[in-house]
Structure 1
Amino acid sequence: MADEEVATKAPESDAQEDAGKNPTTEDPVARAGPTMGVMLTGPFRKSNVANISRNIAQAIGLLQLERFLLASELTKLGDVDVYIAKPADYPHGPAKLLLLLTGGTGLKSINNQLQADKYASEGFLTVMPDQFEGDPAPNAVSEPLTEHEPSFLDRVKHGIFDGTKSFMIDMWLARHTPAKVLPLLHKVVSAAKEEFADAIANGGGIYGVGYCFGAKYILLLAGEHPDSVIWGQENPGAEEEGMVKKGPFIKVGVVAHGTGVTPTDITNVKVPMSLICVQDDPMFPEEIWKAGEEALAKNGVEHEVKVYPGVPHGFAVLGDYEDAKIKETQQQAFGEMLGWLQAH
């Protein structure tokens, strides 16, 4: 398991620092400063430790680092890159399978990896796929965000960035549509059913948690849709009378401060769902989640909605915030998200 001491001090956003040509940041194993990321592969070797930046090794400690490397790894599942974090006693002890979908920072964000480890420490065999196929969201800022600064996508939405930078994120979003992401996720789910059949059986199905970008896809996997929609080929609202539907593909879900979510995404949900929202969040506005909440109630779907005031979009992702209120609220949100999963 990873040590939370190495969590970045900046909040997780839908963007990742662009490495550029800096030799230090080009090393996929270590990135200096608050935006550092760790790439972990294979069994524990002394050479692995040598490749990890000194500040991380000192923070974690060699013994903890060894346990981290053994319990968590970057590998492939269904020919898709994934980060898998396993409970310490698995497979000797029982576990439940959790599909964790991240924001735009993606697979190699240390905050996202630590988040997966945290769920694993609570008994969930956590599978975190690379939804972006090695293409995380671009970042247009050279300094890490503070807890009071808007995320990259927030800035784009409000026109803070210039045309070139807005074009970059538009192009990135165009590359990562449901037509691209959903088939990839179905590969992972299908492979997980074979590789971790014991964990899925133990939990009675697959659990799902999604942050930011990933929230939309947890909602889609939790819904019932025409076959073409589950492969991202049509708008989820486009269906014909008598059309055969498929799904849901998870048994329960929880999503935090989603981006790109539509009321229809929530309306089609058929499994217990918890929505973690930020008050006055332009990325997941009240009119969206409120319409979804009303639809879930009308459809008789078990659900809950939690709204947090005074915190930034992305606050629920693990991070080391200087603002004590944000840090406490983050811990509270994790406890509530975990509690929802454990209750089902």
Structure 2
Amino acid sequence: MADNDIATRAPESDAQEKPQEQPQEAAAESVFPGDTRAQEGPSMGEHCTTDRPTPSGEKPTGDLTKLGGVECYIAKPADYPHSPSKLLLMLTGGTGVKSTNNQLQADKYASEGYLVVMPDQFDNDPAPNTVDMTETPKEASWLESFKLGAASVSKKFVIDMWLARHTPEKVLPLLHKVVESAKEEYADAIANGGGIYGIGYCFGAKYILMLASELPDTVAWGQETQKDVEQGTVKKEPVLRAGAVAHPTMTYKEDLEAVKSPVYIAAVKDDPMFSEEDELTPGRRAMETNKVEHEIQIFEGVPHGFAVYGDYEDAKIKQSQAQAFGQMLGWIQSH
């Protein structure tokens, strides 16, 4: 089989190797009400909270401004508004709107004819910049090993406390403010594309899937359940015409079950933050049952976060990064 396993409505691809189980830590209160799974393993990793080196000589060309009172990085095609563009909502990992790499990634989509709106979904509170200290050097003493282990626990605690400040209840209203303002500010781009398109990485991927669903926000952030919806809560039209996401974090099969707009997912083989067995495969089956247009590609031999713009020494990771960008771009272009 090729390096990248493509799964599009292919039941025979369900039989995947079970990811190696991660050692469980002491139980902790979930940062999402009623949801404990985020605490059973890694919640967000180094690739979600720390940028890779920026390729030499590259500088962002967009601007920081406000839409609906929310700071956004706006990247426009060079010939906009003289040539038609389409509106693309881009949601980032934990490094946020002021990350040079995220801004350069937005610029890449703008160079392909999209007017890109990248909102500050963290309200000027990006993820703490962490260093991966989970691996203990072989020559480390018992004391050094203990310190490294304590640092790893401390890092997880800091990230989980940050996540507790950025739940769907806090993030979704910010995104809706941006979307409503963009409908007025960039009505031409939305009309030209027949709607709004979405791209999401890591943390932002979950919210692209939410915006591609028909569930009301009260269900998304836990005030109501799917059962409440079935008993009469009014469903909404998806915000997005189509979306593409890469290596989601804190994303579960229920997020995929709720999707109604066409979606593309770039996943990582044996990703501890997006389980193929527990989330991806049952979620894909639900999309097949619901007749939701989708494509899923599983990339092997790359780290979680590989698709986020940034430099790698490994040529295979660079190639996969470029491939993921091309396929995410191609998906929204074809819809």
- Normalising by structure 2, report the TM-score: 0.77
Aligned to 1:328: 319
Aligned to 1:252: 242
Task: Specify which structure has the bigger relative contact order, considering alpha-carbon pairs within 8 angstroms and separated by 6 or more residues.
Answer: 2
The aligned runs of 1:304-319 (5 Å cut-off) are: 304-319=295-310
Aligned to 1:3: none
Aligned to 1:208: 198
Find 1:102's aligned residue among 92, 103, 113: 92
Relative to structure 1, is the Cα distance of residues 235 and 242 closer, same or farther in structure 2, using a 3 angstrom cutoff?
closer
2:228 is aligned with 1:228: no
Tell me, yes or no, if the aligned pair for 2:46 and 2:130 is still in contact at 8 Å: no
Relative to structure 1, is the Cα distance of residues 86 and 35 closer, same or farther in structure 2, using a 3 angstrom cutoff?
same
Find 1:124's aligned residue among 114, 133, 146: 114
Q: Give the drift of 1:253.
A: 0.5
Q: Aligned equivalents of 1:101 and 1:343: distance in 2?
A: 20
Aligned to 2:290: 299
Q: Give the drift of 1:227.
A: 5.2
Q: Give the drift of 1:229.
A: 3.0
Q: Aligned equivalents of 1:162 and 1:278: distance in 2?
A: 23
Code of the aligned partner of 2:160: D
Tell me, yes or no, if the aligned pair for 2:53 and 2:311 is still in contact at 8 Å: no
Aligned to 1:111: 101
- Normalising by structure 1, report the TM-score: 0.75
- Partner SS for 1:339: helix
Q: Give the drift of 1:234.
A: 2.3
Q: Give the drift of 1:142.
A: 8.5
- Partner SS for 1:283: coil
Code of the aligned partner of 2:93: G
Task: Tell me the matched-pair count.
Answer: 275
Q: Give the drift of 1:225.
A: 0.9
Relative to structure 1, is the Cα distance of residues 202 and 312 closer, same or farther in structure 2, using a 3 angstrom cutoff?
same
Q: Aligned equivalents of 2:150 and 2:188: distance in 1?
A: 49
Tell me, yes or no, if the aligned pair for 1:271 and 1:301 is still in contact at 8 Å: yes
Deviations 1:109-136 (A, max 9, x none): 1110010000000001000001101111
Aligned to 2:139: none
Q: CA RMSD in A?
A: 2.3
Q: Give the drift of 1:247.
A: 2.7
Tell me, yes or no, if the aligned pair for 1:210 and 1:216 is still in contact at 8 Å: yes
Percent identity over paired residues: 61
Tell me, yes or no, if the aligned pair for 1:227 and 1:245 is still in contact at 8 Å: no
Q: Give the drift of 1:74.
A: 0.6
The aligned runs of 1:91-240 (5 Å cut-off) are: 91-141=81-131, 161-226=151-216, 228-229=218-219, 232=221, 234=223, 237=226, 239-240=228-229
Q: Aligned equivalents of 2:47 and 2:158: distance in 1?
A: 16
Tell me, yes or no, if the aligned pair for 2:48 and 2:95 is still in contact at 8 Å: yes
Q: Aligned equivalents of 1:12 and 1:164: distance in 2?
A: 14
Q: Give the drift of 1:164.
A: 2.7
Q: Give the drift of 1:165.
A: 2.3
Aligned to 2:329: 338
Tell me, yes or no, if the aligned pair for 1:255 and 1:275 is still in contact at 8 Å: yes
- Partner SS for 1:320: coil
Tell me, yes or no, if the aligned pair for 1:103 and 1:212 is still in contact at 8 Å: yes
Task: Point out where structure 1 has 5 or more consecutive residues left out of the alignment.
Answer: 1-10, 18-33, 37-54, 144-158
Find 1:270's aligned residue among 260, 280, 294: 260
Find 1:14's aligned residue among 48, 55, 59: 48
Task: Point out where structure 2 has 5 or more consecutive residues left out of the alignment.
Answer: 1-44, 134-148
Tell me, yes or no, if the aligned pair for 2:254 and 2:283 is still in contact at 8 Å: yes
Tell me, yes or no, if the aligned pair for 2:97 and 2:103 is still in contact at 8 Å: yes
Q: Aligned equivalents of 2:316 and 2:110: distance in 1?
A: 26
